[in-house]
C-alpha cells in the first residue's frame, strides 16, 4: 500500500483494517510490518488513517451487533500498535430507533471498553451526514461522545467534507464559520484528519453520496480552500472519491497543481 501511495503521488493513505464489510482479519506478518515501517520512513509516508469496517455499528439496538463492533475494534487497536502512532477512524454508528441520546451513550460505552492508557493510536470519530439514524452529524453529538469517554486524550475527530456538507454545514460558502463552530463546540485541536470528498447532493440532503472533486455541489474551489486552509493544511487528507487508483492519481495531481 505504501508503494501504491507513492506511485500515485500521495504521502499518506487510508486502509481498511480488514474486509470493509467486517469479518476475520489476516494474521499480522511481522516481516511485512518491518518492511513497511522502513519504506514509510524512507519515503516520508506519515500518519496513516486506518478505517474501521463501515458495517460496524457501535450503537445498534441489537446487543449482539454492538458486541461484534466492540470485539472487532478492540482487535483492530491491538493490530494498529504494530505501526505505532497512527490514526484509527470509525463511524460513530446508527441508533436504529433508540434515539440519539442512547446512541451517543452506547458509542461512548464502547470506546470506554476498548481504549487503553498505553495505546499510541489515536481513535478518530468521523463526522457523519445524518443519513438514516446516524449519530455524529452535528458537532454537538460528537462533543457529547468525547465528554463521556474517560480516556478522551486518545480521541480525535476526522472531518469528512461530504458528510458535513450533507449534514448542513456550509463548507462551500462559509468555511471559516464552520471551523469557528467546530472550534467552539469540539475544539480544533481535536481535528486530526480530513476526508476530502465532493457531494452528489445539495447541502443538508443527508444522503452521503461522494462525488469526484469538482463534480459535486461543494465544488473544486471550495475543496481547495479546505485543503489549503491555514488551520487544516498540516493534517492528513484522504480522498474517498468514487474512482480507482489511477483516478486518484489524477485527482492528487490536479489538487497539487491548483493548491493555493
Ligand atoms: Fe468513513
Ligand atoms: Fe469518510
Ligand atoms: Zn461517506
pLDDT-based confidence at 20, cuts 50/70/90?
confident
Cell of 141: 453529538
**Rounded distance from Cα 155 to ligand 3 centre (Å):** 20
pLDDT-based confidence at 22, cuts 50/70/90?
confident
Residue reference for cell 447541502: 203
- Average pLDDT, stretch 239-258? 96
pLDDT at site 45: 86
pLDDT at site 58: 98
Q: Any idea which ligand is nearest the CA of 208? A: 3
Give the H/E segment covering residue 226.
helix 220-228
pLDDT at site 239: 97
pLDDT-based confidence at 18, cuts 50/70/90?
confident
Four-way CATH pick for 45-259: 3.30.450.20, 2.70.70.10, 3.20.20.150, 1.25.40.420: 3.20.20.150
pTM above 0.85, yes or no: yes
Q: Any idea which ligand is nearest the CA of 195? A: 2
Predicted confidence (pLDDT) at residue 120 exceeds the cutoff of 70: yes
Cell of 256: 497539487
**Rounded distance from Cα 256 to ligand 3 centre (Å):** 23
Determine which of 13-22, 117-126, 150-159, 194-203 has the lowest per-residue pLDDT on average. 13-22
pLDDT at site 235: 96
**Rounded distance from Cα 117 to ligand 3 centre (Å):** 30
Predicted confidence (pLDDT) at residue 96 exceeds the cutoff of 90: yes
Counting beta carbons within 10 angstroms of the beta carbon of residue 230, is it exposed (0 to 12), middle (13 to 18) or buried (19 or more)?
A: exposed
**Rounded distance from Cα 89 to ligand 1 centre (Å):** 7
Q: Is the dihedral of CA 150, 155, 156, 159 positive or negative?
A: negative
**Rounded distance from Cα 240 to ligand 1 centre (Å):** 8
**Rounded distance from Cα 208 to ligand 1 centre (Å):** 10
pLDDT at site 110: 98
Q: Any idea which ligand is nearest the CA of 125? A: 1
Predicted confidence (pLDDT) at residue 87 exceeds the cutoff of 70: yes
**Rounded distance from Cα 213 to ligand 1 centre (Å):** 17
In this prediction, what percent of the chain has a pLDDT beyond 70?
100
Predicted confidence (pLDDT) at residue 237 exceeds the cutoff of 90: yes
Residue 33 phi/psi, 5° resolution? -65, -50
Cell of 159: 472531518
**Rounded distance from Cα 21 to ligand 1 centre (Å):** 12
pLDDT tens per residue across span 136-185: 999 999 999 999 999 999 999 999 999 999 999 999 999 999 999 999 99
Residue reference for cell 458528510: 163
What is the chain's mean pLDDT, rounded?
Answer: 96
Q: How many angstroms separate the CA atoms of 253 and 257, rounded? A: 6
Pairing of strands 155-160, 122-126: parallel
In this prediction, what percent of the chain has a pLDDT beyond 90?
88
pLDDT tens per residue across span 203-229: 999 999 999 999 999 999 999 999 999
Amino acid at each position: 500500500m505504501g508503494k501504491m501511495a507513492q506511485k500515485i503521488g500521495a504521502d499518506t493513505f487510508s486502509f481498511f483494517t480488514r474486509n470493509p464489510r467486517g469479518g476475520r482479519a489476516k494474521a499480522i506478518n511481522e516481516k511485512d510490518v518491518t518492511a513497511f515501517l522502513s519504506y514509510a520512513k524512507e519515503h516520508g509516508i506519515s500518519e496513516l488513517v486506518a478505517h474501521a469496517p463501515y458495517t460496524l455499528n457501535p450503537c445498534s439496538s441489537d446487543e449482539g451487533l454492538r458486541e461484534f463492533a466492540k470485539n472487532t475494534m478492540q482487535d483492530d487497536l491491538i493490530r494498529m500498535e504494530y505501526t505505532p502512532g497512527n490514526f484509527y477512524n470509525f463511524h460513530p454508528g446508527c441508533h436504529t430507533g433508540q434515539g440519539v441520546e442512547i446512541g451517543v451513550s452506547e458509542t461512548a460505552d464502547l470506546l470506554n471498553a476498548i481504549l487503553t492508557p498505553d495505546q499510541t493510536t489515536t481513535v478518530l470519530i468521523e463526522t457523519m451526514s445524518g443519513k438514516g439514524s446516524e449519530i455524529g452529524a452535528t458537532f454537538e453529538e460528537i462533543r457529547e461522545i468525547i465528554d463521556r469517554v474517560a480516556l478522551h486524550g486518545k480521541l480525535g475527530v476526522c472531518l469528512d467534507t461530504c458528510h458535513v456538507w450533507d449534514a448542513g454545514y456550509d463548507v462551500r460558502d462559509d468555511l471559516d464559520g464552520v471551523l469557528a463552530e467546530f472550534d467552539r463546540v469540539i475544539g480544533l485541536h481535536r481535528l486530526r484528519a480530513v476526508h476530502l470528498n465532493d457531494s452528489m447532493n445539495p447541502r443538508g440532503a443527508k444522503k452521503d453520496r461522494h462525488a469526484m472533486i469538482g463534480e459535486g455541489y461543494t465544488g473544486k474551489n471550495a475543496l481547495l480552500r479546505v485543503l489549503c486552509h491555514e488551520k487544516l493544511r498540516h493534517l492528513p487528507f484522504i480522498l474517498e472519491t468514487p474512482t480507482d487508483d489511477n483516478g486518484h492519481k489524477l485527482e492528487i495531481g490536479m489538487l497539487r497543481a491548483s493548491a493555493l
